[in-house]
A and B are shown apart, each in its own frame.
Chain A
Amino acid sequence: DIQMTQSPSTVSASVGDRVTITCRASQSISSWVAWYQQKPGKAPKLLIYKASSLESGVPSRFSGSGSGTEFTLTISSLQPDDFATYYCQQYNSYPGTFGQGTKLEIK
């Protein structure tokens, strides 16, 4: 299976900050990466697919980039609603696998 490693595991930031989360794949996965936001007690919500495509209805402050083995999710200006846990997922091959998550906390 392809391993997805996210960093950092936790990040503390303030409203208005720019935040970047990194995801590294154990082998090249082209651009077949998705990013999700999950709040406590809720299902994950798709933010980004194919590394940089913004899902419909997701605010434009979210962006994704990368290809091959290194990918980033950037939130350009944090809003109060953005404090949550974020997961990357590779879908280059079966089984699709997720990163361990990055918890975004209020500083």
Chain B
Amino acid sequence: QVQLQQWGAGLLKPSETLSLTCAVYGGSFSSYYWSWIRQPPGKGLEWIGEINHSGSTNYNPSLKSRVTISVDTSKNQFSLKLSSVTAADTAVYYCARGGVDTAVVTSRYFDLWGRGTLVTVSS
């Protein structure tokens, strides 16, 4: 049974850097792309970016200038850093596994999700 376990700081001040990590337990790490997705309170879902085991990344252009996603294959973990946060970055952040029934030119759906981490940005 594959599980995603995520953790990171839940309260930040404006201009600080958000940092979250997601660990993958019980399954293949190298066969998938791994994503971060966020959901502001009471609102919809926004894809942030993804990474695979070799470090290949794709980012949402709306956040690209502030986002870094990295991978540690020795620990089956991937991490998100979002710099210069503001109140608009307050959200539940999810890590998720990209589904494999896709085409070379498409992005991904998400078949496995972490529990989510609420990150609040407040002075």
Contact A44 B110 (CB under 8 A): yes
Query: Size range of the interface on B?
Result: 20 to 34
Contact A95 B94 (CB under 8 A): no
Contacts A43-B94, A87-B44; A95 near B114 (Cβ below 8 A):
no
Pick from A32, A91, A92, A96 the residue with the most CB of B within 10 Å: A96
Q: Which of B21-29, B82-90, B99-107 contacts A (4 or more CB under 8 A)?
A: B99-107
- Residues from chain B with Cβ under 8 Å of A96 in the complex: 47, 107-109
- Residues from chain B with Cβ under 8 Å of A46 in the complex: 99, 109-112
Contacts A49-B99, A49-B101, A91-B102; A44 near B60 (Cβ below 8 A):
no
- Residues in chain A within 8 A of chain B (CB atoms): 32, 34, 36, 42-46, 49-50, 53, 55, 87, 89, 91-101
List, sorted by A's number, 14 A–B pairs whose CB atoms are closer than 8 Å.
A34-B99, A43-B114, A44-B94, A44-B110, A49-B99, A49-B101, A50-B101, A53-B101, A87-B44, A89-B109, A91-B102, A92-B106, A94-B60, A95-B47
- Residues in chain B within 8 A of chain A (CB atoms): 44-47, 58, 60-62, 94, 96, 99, 101-103, 105-116
